[in-house]
Amino acid sequence: MKAVVFIILMLIFAALTVAGINVIRQSEKAYETSVTFSLKTLEKPAVTPPSYSVVKDGYAQALLYFTLAIGVCIFALLSDRLTSITFSPAGGVSLILRDLASQVKSLTQVSNEQQRVSVGAGGAAPQPLIKHLREENKAIGLIGDIEKSHQMTDSQKGRWGGLAVSNGRALSAFIYPDDDGLFKVRLEVNSTDPGKPLKNLVRFHLLDNFKNPDPAIIPVDGKAVLLLDKVYGPFTVGAEIAEEATQLELDLRQVKAAPKEFR
Protein backbone atom coordinates (compact mmCIF):
# COMPACT_ATOMS: atom_id res chain seq x y z
CA MET A 1 0.00 0.00 0.00
CA LYS A 2 2.80 2.42 0.91
CA ALA A 3 4.53 1.71 -2.40
CA VAL A 4 1.34 2.51 -4.33
CA VAL A 5 0.91 5.82 -2.47
CA PHE A 6 4.53 6.71 -3.15
CA ILE A 7 4.15 5.98 -6.89
CA ILE A 8 0.97 8.07 -7.08
CA LEU A 9 2.70 11.00 -5.36
CA MET A 10 5.64 10.74 -7.75
CA LEU A 11 3.25 10.80 -10.73
CA ILE A 12 1.61 13.93 -9.33
CA PHE A 13 5.07 15.47 -8.90
CA ALA A 14 5.93 14.70 -12.53
CA ALA A 15 2.61 16.05 -13.78
CA LEU A 16 3.00 19.33 -11.90
CA THR A 17 6.55 19.74 -13.16
CA VAL A 18 5.52 19.15 -16.78
CA ALA A 19 2.58 21.52 -16.36
CA GLY A 20 4.90 24.25 -15.13
CA ILE A 21 7.25 23.80 -18.07
CA ASN A 22 4.33 23.87 -20.53
CA VAL A 23 2.99 27.10 -19.02
CA ILE A 24 6.37 28.76 -19.55
CA ARG A 25 6.55 27.57 -23.16
CA GLN A 26 3.01 28.72 -23.91
CA SER A 27 3.66 32.13 -22.36
CA GLU A 28 6.78 32.69 -24.44
CA LYS A 29 4.97 31.47 -27.58
CA ALA A 30 2.13 33.91 -26.91
CA TYR A 31 4.64 36.73 -26.55
CA GLU A 32 6.38 35.85 -29.82
CA THR A 33 3.03 35.69 -31.59
CA SER A 34 2.09 39.13 -30.30
CA VAL A 35 5.40 40.59 -31.50
CA THR A 36 4.94 39.08 -34.98
CA PHE A 37 1.39 40.39 -35.15
CA SER A 38 2.51 43.89 -34.18
CA LEU A 39 5.27 43.95 -36.82
CA LYS A 40 2.90 42.82 -39.57
CA THR A 41 0.25 45.29 -38.51
CA LEU A 42 2.58 48.29 -38.42
CA GLU A 43 4.73 47.04 -41.36
CA LYS A 44 7.75 48.26 -39.44
CA PRO A 45 9.58 47.42 -36.25
CA ALA A 46 7.54 48.38 -33.24
CA VAL A 47 8.98 51.31 -31.30
CA THR A 48 7.62 49.89 -28.07
CA PRO A 49 7.60 46.10 -27.87
CA PRO A 50 4.43 44.40 -26.70
CA SER A 51 3.93 43.94 -22.98
CA TYR A 52 5.98 41.16 -21.44
CA SER A 53 3.39 40.68 -18.70
CA VAL A 54 2.02 37.57 -20.37
CA VAL A 55 5.37 35.87 -19.84
CA LYS A 56 5.69 37.15 -16.27
CA ASP A 57 2.23 35.85 -15.47
CA GLY A 58 3.18 32.54 -17.01
CA TYR A 59 6.33 32.33 -14.91
CA ALA A 60 4.32 33.07 -11.76
CA GLN A 61 1.86 30.31 -12.59
CA ALA A 62 4.71 27.93 -13.43
CA LEU A 63 6.39 28.75 -10.10
CA LEU A 64 3.20 27.77 -8.32
CA TYR A 65 3.21 24.43 -10.13
CA PHE A 66 6.87 23.86 -9.25
CA THR A 67 6.26 24.74 -5.59
CA LEU A 68 3.38 22.29 -5.41
CA ALA A 69 5.54 19.68 -7.12
CA ILE A 70 8.32 20.13 -4.56
CA GLY A 71 5.77 19.92 -1.74
CA VAL A 72 4.39 16.68 -3.13
CA CYS A 73 7.92 15.30 -3.49
CA ILE A 74 8.77 16.13 0.13
CA PHE A 75 5.46 14.65 1.28
CA ALA A 76 6.22 11.47 -0.65
CA LEU A 77 9.67 11.15 0.87
CA LEU A 78 8.31 11.64 4.40
CA SER A 79 5.10 9.65 3.97
CA ASP A 80 6.62 6.48 5.41
CA ARG A 81 7.42 8.27 8.69
CA LEU A 82 4.43 10.60 8.82
CA THR A 83 2.11 9.97 11.77
CA SER A 84 -0.21 12.95 11.43
CA ILE A 85 -0.77 16.12 9.43
CA THR A 86 -2.66 19.19 10.68
CA PHE A 87 -3.88 22.22 8.71
CA SER A 88 -4.32 25.46 10.67
CA PRO A 89 -7.00 28.10 9.85
CA ALA A 90 -4.20 30.50 8.86
CA GLY A 91 -3.03 28.10 6.18
CA GLY A 92 -0.16 26.53 8.06
CA VAL A 93 0.68 22.86 7.89
CA SER A 94 2.06 20.82 10.78
CA LEU A 95 3.69 17.44 10.21
CA ILE A 96 4.53 14.95 12.95
CA LEU A 97 7.15 12.36 12.05
CA ARG A 98 7.40 8.98 13.72
CA ASP A 99 10.47 8.34 15.89
CA LEU A 100 11.97 11.78 15.23
CA ALA A 101 12.08 12.65 18.94
CA SER A 102 13.68 9.33 19.83
CA GLN A 103 16.31 9.79 17.11
CA VAL A 104 17.20 13.25 18.43
CA LYS A 105 17.40 11.80 21.94
CA SER A 106 19.73 9.04 20.73
CA LEU A 107 22.06 11.55 19.07
CA THR A 108 22.07 13.60 22.27
CA GLN A 109 23.03 10.55 24.32
CA VAL A 110 25.88 9.75 21.92
CA SER A 111 27.21 13.30 22.26
CA ASN A 112 26.98 13.15 26.05
CA GLU A 113 28.77 9.79 26.12
CA GLN A 114 31.63 11.23 24.05
CA GLN A 115 31.95 14.07 26.53
CA ARG A 116 31.92 11.66 29.46
CA VAL A 117 34.68 9.50 27.99
CA SER A 118 36.80 12.56 27.22
CA VAL A 119 36.89 13.63 30.89
CA GLY A 120 39.21 10.85 32.10
CA ALA A 121 40.40 10.58 35.70
CA GLY A 122 41.05 13.35 38.20
CA GLY A 123 40.29 14.90 41.54
CA ALA A 124 42.32 15.66 44.66
CA ALA A 125 43.14 12.54 46.71
CA PRO A 126 43.25 12.93 50.51
CA GLN A 127 46.44 11.69 52.15
CA PRO A 128 44.77 8.78 54.03
CA LEU A 129 43.43 7.46 50.72
CA ILE A 130 46.88 7.59 49.10
CA LYS A 131 48.32 5.65 52.04
CA HIS A 132 45.53 3.08 51.84
CA LEU A 133 45.99 2.58 48.09
CA ARG A 134 49.72 1.97 48.56
CA GLU A 135 49.17 -0.50 51.37
CA GLU A 136 46.53 -2.41 49.40
CA ASN A 137 48.39 -2.19 46.05
CA LYS A 138 45.34 -0.68 44.38
CA ALA A 139 45.15 1.72 41.41
CA ILE A 140 48.82 0.93 40.68
CA GLY A 141 48.70 2.43 37.19
CA LEU A 142 47.37 5.72 38.54
CA ILE A 143 49.25 6.00 41.82
CA GLY A 144 51.71 8.59 40.48
CA ASP A 145 48.93 10.90 39.32
CA ILE A 146 46.99 10.26 42.51
CA GLU A 147 49.92 11.34 44.69
CA LYS A 148 50.39 14.51 42.62
CA SER A 149 46.69 15.30 42.89
CA HIS A 150 47.02 15.82 46.65
CA GLN A 151 48.85 19.08 45.91
CA MET A 152 46.24 20.36 43.43
CA THR A 153 44.67 23.75 44.00
CA ASP A 154 40.87 23.66 44.10
CA SER A 155 40.68 25.71 40.89
CA GLN A 156 36.88 26.10 40.68
CA LYS A 157 36.38 27.18 44.28
CA GLY A 158 34.54 30.52 44.43
CA ARG A 159 34.38 30.95 40.65
CA TRP A 160 30.71 30.04 40.11
CA GLY A 161 28.82 31.94 42.78
CA GLY A 162 29.15 29.45 45.63
CA LEU A 163 25.53 28.26 45.40
CA ALA A 164 24.34 24.79 44.40
CA VAL A 165 20.81 26.12 43.79
CA SER A 166 20.20 29.27 41.77
CA ASN A 167 17.73 30.66 39.23
CA GLY A 168 15.51 27.58 39.42
CA ARG A 169 18.36 25.14 38.76
CA ALA A 170 20.12 22.77 41.16
CA LEU A 171 23.51 21.04 41.05
CA SER A 172 23.82 17.79 43.01
CA ALA A 173 26.32 14.94 43.31
CA PHE A 174 26.16 11.26 44.18
CA ILE A 175 29.42 9.58 45.18
CA TYR A 176 30.11 5.83 45.18
CA PRO A 177 33.20 3.76 46.04
CA ASP A 178 34.95 2.03 43.13
CA ASP A 179 36.45 -1.47 43.05
CA ASP A 180 39.91 0.06 42.54
CA GLY A 181 39.69 1.96 45.80
CA LEU A 182 38.76 5.17 43.98
CA PHE A 183 35.31 6.69 43.44
CA LYS A 184 32.59 7.28 40.89
CA VAL A 185 30.79 10.62 40.96
CA ARG A 186 27.46 11.34 39.29
CA LEU A 187 26.91 15.05 38.73
CA GLU A 188 23.41 16.21 37.94
CA VAL A 189 21.82 19.55 37.07
CA ASN A 190 18.04 19.76 36.97
CA SER A 191 15.18 22.18 37.53
CA THR A 192 13.63 23.05 40.86
CA ASP A 193 10.53 24.28 39.02
CA PRO A 194 8.48 21.55 37.26
CA GLY A 195 7.02 24.23 35.02
CA LYS A 196 10.45 25.21 33.67
CA PRO A 197 12.33 22.01 32.78
CA LEU A 198 16.01 22.21 31.92
CA LYS A 199 16.55 22.31 28.15
CA ASN A 200 19.73 24.30 27.60
CA LEU A 201 23.27 22.93 27.43
CA VAL A 202 25.18 22.69 30.73
CA ARG A 203 28.95 23.08 30.86
CA PHE A 204 30.57 21.51 33.92
CA HIS A 205 33.86 22.80 35.29
CA LEU A 206 36.08 20.26 37.06
CA LEU A 207 39.51 20.17 38.64
CA ASP A 208 42.29 20.96 36.18
CA ASN A 209 43.88 17.48 36.29
CA PHE A 210 40.97 15.93 34.36
CA LYS A 211 41.77 15.46 30.66
CA ASN A 212 38.69 17.45 29.72
CA PRO A 213 37.87 19.63 32.73
CA ASP A 214 35.04 21.49 30.95
CA PRO A 215 32.66 18.91 29.42
CA ALA A 216 29.39 20.12 27.89
CA ILE A 217 26.27 18.03 28.49
CA ILE A 218 22.91 18.31 26.70
CA PRO A 219 19.91 17.71 28.99
CA VAL A 220 17.91 14.53 28.49
CA ASP A 221 14.44 14.32 30.05
CA GLY A 222 15.08 17.58 31.88
CA LYS A 223 18.41 16.55 33.45
CA ALA A 224 22.04 17.14 32.53
CA VAL A 225 23.99 14.18 33.92
CA LEU A 226 27.76 13.64 33.90
CA LEU A 227 29.26 10.43 35.28
CA LEU A 228 32.91 10.59 36.37
CA ASP A 229 34.32 7.06 36.36
CA LYS A 230 37.66 7.62 38.11
CA VAL A 231 37.78 10.24 40.85
CA TYR A 232 40.70 10.42 43.30
CA GLY A 233 39.04 12.65 45.86
CA PRO A 234 36.95 15.78 46.52
CA PHE A 235 37.03 19.08 44.66
CA THR A 236 34.67 21.91 43.79
CA VAL A 237 32.44 21.55 40.75
CA GLY A 238 31.08 24.45 38.72
CA ALA A 239 28.14 24.25 36.33
CA GLU A 240 27.27 26.94 33.83
CA ILE A 241 24.11 27.40 31.75
CA ALA A 242 25.13 30.24 29.46
CA GLU A 243 21.72 30.62 27.75
CA GLU A 244 20.09 31.23 31.13
CA ALA A 245 22.92 33.27 32.67
CA THR A 246 23.00 30.71 35.49
CA GLN A 247 26.03 29.56 37.49
CA LEU A 248 26.10 26.80 40.10
CA GLU A 249 28.82 25.62 42.45
CA LEU A 250 29.16 22.57 44.71
CA ASP A 251 32.03 21.51 46.95
CA LEU A 252 32.04 17.71 46.92
CA ARG A 253 33.41 17.77 50.48
CA GLN A 254 29.97 19.01 51.55
CA VAL A 255 28.06 16.05 50.10
CA LYS A 256 26.80 14.40 53.29
CA ALA A 257 26.10 11.00 51.75
CA ALA A 258 29.66 10.65 50.39
CA PRO A 259 31.87 7.85 51.80
CA LYS A 260 34.06 9.15 54.61
CA GLU A 261 37.17 7.94 52.76
CA PHE A 262 36.31 10.37 49.98
CA ARG A 263 36.60 13.41 52.22
Compare 119 and 58 and report the one with higher pLDDT: 119
Q: What is the mean pLDDT of the chain?
A: 80
28: which residues sit within 8 A by CB, 6+ positions away? 55, 58
Q: Do residues 122 and 139 both lie within one domain?
A: yes
Q: Do residues 119 and 206 both lie within one domain?
A: yes
Last-in-domain residue among 98, 114, 138:
98
Number of domains in the chain: 2
Q: Do residues 109 and 236 both lie within one domain?
A: yes
d(CA 221, CA 92): 29
Q: Do residues 28 and 61 both lie within one domain?
A: yes
Q: What percent of the chain has pLDDT over 70?
A: 61
Last-in-domain residue among 42, 73, 98:
98
Residues 164, 172: contact at Cβ < 8 Å? yes
pLDDT tens for 126-146 read 999 999 888 888 887 888 999
Task: Report which of 204, 200, 57, 52 is spatially closest to residue 122, judged by C-alpha positions.
Answer: 204
Structure confidence at residue 238 (pLDDT): 98
Taking residues 212-224, report their average pLDDT.
95
Structure confidence at residue 137 (pLDDT): 85
229 CB neighbour count, 10 Å cutoff = 14
Q: How confident is the model at residue 84 (pLDDT cuts 50, 70, 90)?
A: low
Compare 109 and 62 and report the one with higher pLDDT: 109
Q: Do residues 57 and 170 both lie within one domain?
A: no
Sign of CA dihedral 155, 159, 164, 167: negative
Residues 58, 32: contact at Cβ < 8 Å? no
pLDDT tens for 143-191 read 899 999 998 999 999 999 999 999 999 999 999 999 888 999 999 999 9
Q: How confident is the model at residue 8 (pLDDT cuts 50, 70, 90)?
A: low
Structure confidence at residue 73 (pLDDT): 62
Taking residues 239-248, report their average pLDDT.
97
Q: Do residues 142 and 64 both lie within one domain?
A: no
Q: Do residues 108 and 212 both lie within one domain?
A: yes
Name the residue type at position 156: Q
Q: Do residues 93 and 161 both lie within one domain?
A: no
Q: Do residues 92 and 117 both lie within one domain?
A: no
Q: Do residues 10 and 133 both lie within one domain?
A: no
At residue 64, does pLDDT exceed 90? no
Structure confidence at residue 68 (pLDDT): 67
251: which residues sit within 8 A by CB, 6+ positions away? 157, 234, 235, 236, 237
3-state secondary structure of 225: strand
Q: Do residues 110 and 231 both lie within one domain?
A: yes
d(CA 2, CA 145): 61
DSSP label at residue 49: P
**Integer angstrom CA distances of residue 205 from 28, 152, 200, 242:** 66, 15, 16, 13
Taking residues 104-121, report their average pLDDT.
87
Give the predicted TM-score (pTM) of the model: 0.63
Taking residues 43-64, report their average pLDDT.
57
Domain, as residue range, for 61: 2-98
Q: Do residues 139 and 91 both lie within one domain?
A: no
Last-in-domain residue among 39, 73, 98:
98
CATH number of the domain that 128 lies in?
2.60.40
At residue 93, does pLDDT exceed 80? no
**Integer angstrom CA distances of residue 185 from 42, 216, 259, 262:** 92, 16, 11, 11
